Amino acid sequence: MKLDAKIPEGPLAEKWSKHKFNLKLVNPANKRKYTVIVVGTGLAGASAAASLAALGYNVKAFCYQDSPRRAHSIAAQGGINAAKNYQNDGDSVHRLFYDTIKGGDYRAREGNVYRLAEVSVNIIDQCVAQGVPFAREYGGLLDNRSFGGSQVSRTFYARGQTGQQLLLGAYSALNRQINLGKVQMFTRHEMMDVVKIEGEAKGIVTRDLITGEIETHAAHAVLLCTGGYGNVFYLSTNAMGCNVTAAWKAHKRGAFFANPCFTQIHPTCIPVSGDHQSKLTLMSESLRNDGRVWAPKTVELAQKLRSGEIKVTDLKEEDRDYFLERKYPAFGNLVPRDVASRNAKEMVDEGRGVGASGIAVYLDFAEAIGRLGEDAVRARYGNLFDMYQQITDENPYKQPMRIYPAVHYTMGGLWVDYNLQTTVKGLYCLGEANFSDHGANRLGASALMQGLADGYFVIPYTLGDYLATIGPKAVDVKHPSFEEAKKNVVDRVNQLLSLKGTKTVNEYHRELGHIMWEYCGMARTEAGLTKAKGMIRELREDFWKNALVSGSNNEFNQSLENAGRVADFLELGELMIDDALDRKESCGGHFRLESQTEEGEALRDDENYAYAAAWEYKGDDQDEVLHKEELVFENVKLSQRSYK
């Protein structure tokens, strides 16, 4: 199969307008004859469901939480980018496009990224119209800040809870359509499979998480908006329920999975405190606007700090190494995430880490408090400081925070073309679940932008083209494909429930996480990856023999839910390793130790690896097949990323 990204011809700035004009339209009177399934109601799903319903389509929406308002988008803290140039500081659609392509280390498509930058301005308008309370200046206009890796102030924010406010906006638009009867909402439902008829997606199989009932739902198209798979690492900043199940089942039904190894490790998270740890908490990147990252200058000082012989506040200025400012004078503490994370790891590897475990560096606000006063710092970051204190029992106004990188976001995901359609016709993928716009590294404040761009402003156009082509003929759940898919799911559930071994599912998950973090985390090598592949296979085999899953199907059974998700992670993990093995270059968050510059920065190999890797599932015990989508750069010059 040849991958066709369907990027429109023509100059970059005209592609999207031209494409919109060329897309077929569904007659307004016919829209109500179509049903669209939207799985996931985070930013991407809620915005898509609300927008499609507003156009007149019937929507069935699903989420695993008890309410759409709890999707993991709610946790985003820092902000959302848009090329509004309200600050008159030189921003433009082109600059946002350029920053995003460069930030992604030239592994994303020009056409997609330009469109993202283009519609970014509409997102802010839309959200404000819904009543989203963005931060404002005293004059009453919207405030902006600069955010990780950007030299202009284009980030809109809502205190430290931008994701919550944006999601509540999208949730309100969704609620309006529920009230109007255009959206039927299924909460506490987990999607377990995609149903295909003659090669096209026509529905899904779900499990009602309260009753255990396995149900089938038919539609003219299916949209997966199911978020990222960072929890394959066990510990991450994702919510506990974040999973790959929906995307993975789609993958097994023919949707290619692209760049699975591109994961983002966020530099500023609260370090692990013990084995009981169930998740990691992000300290927003915005903290790096005023906080300075440092480590003790020598290993000896670090040792004394760790043993408690000296206190951090005892360290003199000349004993501190502000390593980001030292190495990257132009960007300083604001270097992109992958660069900041790797440098923190380097400090720890050198033995200069701090905290009891030695696996942390400092993020220090003393200078900012001196310059701005404690009140101003509290006004900016108060809730984050409180959160830090709550978790660590340390007061960040009085002593620097301890931070360390943690898994945060997955750039990889289902392969989609310019229309957001996967390699399965009628099956679309939006938001973090797709691979489209961030290349090998995502810049801060651009995931919210992408999720809402996909849902509010891209899919309402591109989906219409497909629906107009297939026509409104109803899909029947009595078709044998539905029965087949349902049986698949029932078998899988029974298989999981029959596991009455000795090891809990959590234990397997934790082990998988260790393997992924150790060998497929911030630094990767051929030898390590090869070893990890074997380890994951063994772990997976062991899981299907010795795992322990409690309860039965016909009840609210969190043990079963978790087992299904971990079983899928155990398969995905291996694909991530394959992908990381294939890509012998370093780029963005994918750092192969074998490929670095003399200064230890990621060294790309554009000649051999300027492609998106799209993997095709071939059957349970077979290696997946790699398809390459060559990336064409006509508007930016590929250069070694430099933040010096």
Ligand X SMILES: Cc1cc2nc3c(=O)[nH]c(=O)nc-3n(C[C@H](O)[C@H](O)[C@H](O)COP(=O)(O)OP(=O)(O)OC[C@H]3O[C@@H](n4cnc5c(N)ncnc54)[C@H](O)[C@@H]3O)c2cc1C
Among 391, 474, 527, 593, binds another protein (CB under 8 A): 391
**Sheet containing 413-414: which strands, arranged edge to edge?**
413-414, 257-258, 611-616, 625-630
178 binds, among another protein, ligand X, none (CB under 5 to 8 A by kind): another protein
Among 87, 303, 357, 550, binds another protein (CB under 8 A): 550
Give me the least distance between CB of 454 and ligand X, in Å please.
8
- Determine contact, residues 513/234, Cβ cutoff 8 Å: yes
Residue 376 touching another protein (CB under 8 A): no
CA distance linking residue 155 with residue 286, whole number of Å: 10
Backbone angles phi, psi at 213, to 5 degrees: -65, 135
- Determine contact, residues 447/441, Cβ cutoff 8 Å: no
Q: Is 585 exposed, middle or buried (0-12, 13-18, 19+ CB in 10 A)?
A: buried
176 binds, among another protein, ligand X, none (CB under 5 to 8 A by kind): another protein
Residue 379 touching another protein (CB under 8 A): no
Residue 555 touching another protein (CB under 8 A): yes
Q: Which amino acid is at 115?
A: R
Q: Which is nearer to another protein, 153 or 259 (CB)?
A: 153
Residue 525 touching another protein (CB under 8 A): no
A 10 A CB-CB count for 424 gives 21
Residues 146-185 vs another protein: string with x where CB under 8 A? ------------xx-x-xxx--x--xxx-xx-xx-----x
Kindly provide the residue ranges of all beta strands, DSSP E only, lying in 149-302, ordered along the sequence: 155-156, 183-186, 189-197, 200-208, 214-218, 221-224, 257-258, 263-269, 292-296
36 binds, among another protein, ligand X, none (CB under 5 to 8 A by kind): none
CA distance linking residue 122 with residue 120, whole number of Å: 6
Please pick, among 70, 107, 115, 337, the residue that the annotation labels catalytic. Answer: 337
For the segment 424-463, give every residue that binds another protein (CB under 8 A).
456-457, 460
CA distance linking residue 621 with residue 607, whole number of Å: 32
For the segment 66-95, give every residue that binds another protein (CB under 8 A).
66-70, 72, 74-75, 84, 86
Q: Which is nearer to ligand X, 258 or 433 (CB)?
A: 433
Residue 241 touching another protein (CB under 8 A): yes
Give me the least distance between CB of 138 and another protein, in Å please.
5
Which residue bears the tokens 């509540």?
Answer: 168
By CB under 6 A, name the binding residues for ligand X. Answer: 39-45, 62-65, 71-73, 75-80, 162-163, 190-191, 225-228, 237-238, 242-243, 245-246, 282, 408-409, 431-433, 445-449, 451
Give me the least distance between CB of 260 and ligand X, in Å please.
16
Give me the least distance between CB of 62 and another protein, in Å please.
14
Give me the least distance between CB of 546 and ligand X, in Å please.
25
Residues 6+ apart with CB under 8 A from 97: 12, 110, 113, 114, 116, 117, 118
Among 11, 131, 370, 373, binds another protein (CB under 8 A): 131
451 binds, among ligand X, another protein, none (CB under 5 to 8 A by kind): ligand X
Q: What is the SS3 assignment for 551?
A: coil
Mark whether 537 is an active-site residue. Answer: no
Nearest 10 degrees: CA dihedral of 105, 109, 111, 112? -90
CA distance linking residue 374 with residue 370, whole number of Å: 8
- Tell me the catalytic residues: 337
